[in-house]
């Protein structure tokens, strides 16, 4: 399989790449993130541990249209067929609409929504040609309900879920699956030092294995949405 993952240098994205790389069948995995040093280290680590898998990477800021399209064009230079696309790039700026920093909405719409929109549009012609593929978007429970300090982040995730729902409806007749992953709190680097114990919240591995399983269903079956949250409730 050819698997494209954004936001792949750490956290959920890196763990998704690891779970696919662990497959003894071997895959080609194409990774993207903004920080070239961190991304290169992640890709090198994956390639050394999983030699059956081909790992390629490109450092770009896909939070802007030009970067997202450039990554899409790079992907299509490397492979002609996309089996799995995982729109995982995301950012979070805390605050309420009334007091969050100026520019927070523009930043989070760019990274959380426009990156997925423009990259997906860049890759869709190839996917439509092959009449196959599976697109995952990493949404959030913040896209299901408002919550304190959510502000522009919540707005961007509501929009991302709307994008995913429309994409699912549009691509249904073309053999292309679309799945929204809607997690609550997931233990990544942003939680280190927070005082919240790791066992209190969802693991990145949980998200990765859900995606891996959903990507291996029969062609006639798809999971439209997966909501996963901490057993003891949201934080």
Residue 153: active-site member: yes
Of residues 114 and 80, more confidence is placed in: 114
State the pLDDT at residue 147. 85
- pLDDT higher than threshold 90 for residue 148: no
Of the candidates 117, 153, 187, 212, the residue annotated as catalytic is 153
> Which string of DSSP letters, residue by residue, matches the chain?
-EEEEES-SSHHHHHHHHHHHT-TT--EEEEEES-HHHHHHHHHHHHHH-TTSEEEEEE--TTSHHHHHHHHHHHHHH-S--SEEEE---------TTTSPTTHHHHHIIIIIIHHHHHHHHHHHHHHHHT--EEEEE--GGGTS--TT-HHHHHHHHHHHHHHHHHHHHHGGGT-EEEEEEES-EESGGGTTSS--GGGSEEHHHHHHHHHHHTTS-TT----EEEE--TT---
Overall average pLDDT of the 80-90 stretch: 96
Predicted TM-score (pTM) above 0.75: yes
Q: For the chain, what percent of residues have pLDDT higher than 70?
A: 100
The answer to whether the CB of 82 falls within 8 A of the CB of 123 is: yes
Q: How confident is the model at residue 110 (pLDDT cuts 50, 70, 90)?
A: very high
pLDDT in tens, 25-62: 889 999 999 999 999 999 999 999 999 999 999 999 99
Overall average pLDDT of the 93-121 stretch: 96
State the pLDDT at residue 191. 84
pLDDT in tens, 171-211: 999 999 999 999 999 998 878 888 899 999 999 999 999 99
State the pLDDT at residue 235. 84
Q: What is the mean pLDDT of the chain?
A: 95
State the pLDDT at residue 115. 98
Overall average pLDDT of the 16-26 stretch: 93
């Amino acid at each position: 399989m050819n698997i494209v993952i954004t936001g792949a240098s750490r956290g959920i994205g890196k763990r998704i790449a690891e779970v696919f790389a662990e497959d003894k069948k071997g895959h080609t995995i194409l990774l993207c993130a903004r920080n070239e040093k961190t991304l290169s280290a992640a890709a090198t680590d994956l390639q050394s541990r999983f030699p059956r898998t081909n790992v390629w990477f490109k450092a770009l800021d896909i939070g802007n249209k030009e970067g997202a399209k450039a990554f899409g064009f790079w992907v299509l230079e490397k492979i002609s067929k996309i089996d799995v696309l995982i729109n995982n790039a995301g950012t979070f700026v805390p605050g309420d609409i009334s007091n969050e920093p100026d520019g927070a909405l523009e930043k989070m719409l760019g990274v959380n929504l426009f990156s997925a929109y423009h990259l997906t549009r860049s890759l869709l012609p190839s996917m439509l040609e092959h009449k196959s593929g599976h697109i995952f978007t990493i949404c959030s429970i913040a896209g299901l309900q408002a919550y304190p300090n959510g502000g522009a982040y919540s707005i961007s995730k509501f929009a991302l879920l709307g994008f995913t729902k429309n994409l699912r409806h549009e691509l249904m007749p073309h053999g292309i699956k679309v799945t929204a992953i809607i997690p609550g709190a997931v233990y990544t680097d942003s939680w280190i030092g927070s005082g919240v114990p790791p066992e209190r919240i969802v693991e990145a591995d949980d998200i990765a294995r859900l995606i891996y399983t959903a990507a291996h269903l029969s062609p006639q079956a798809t999971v439209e949405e997966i909501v996963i949250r901490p057993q003891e409730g949201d934080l």
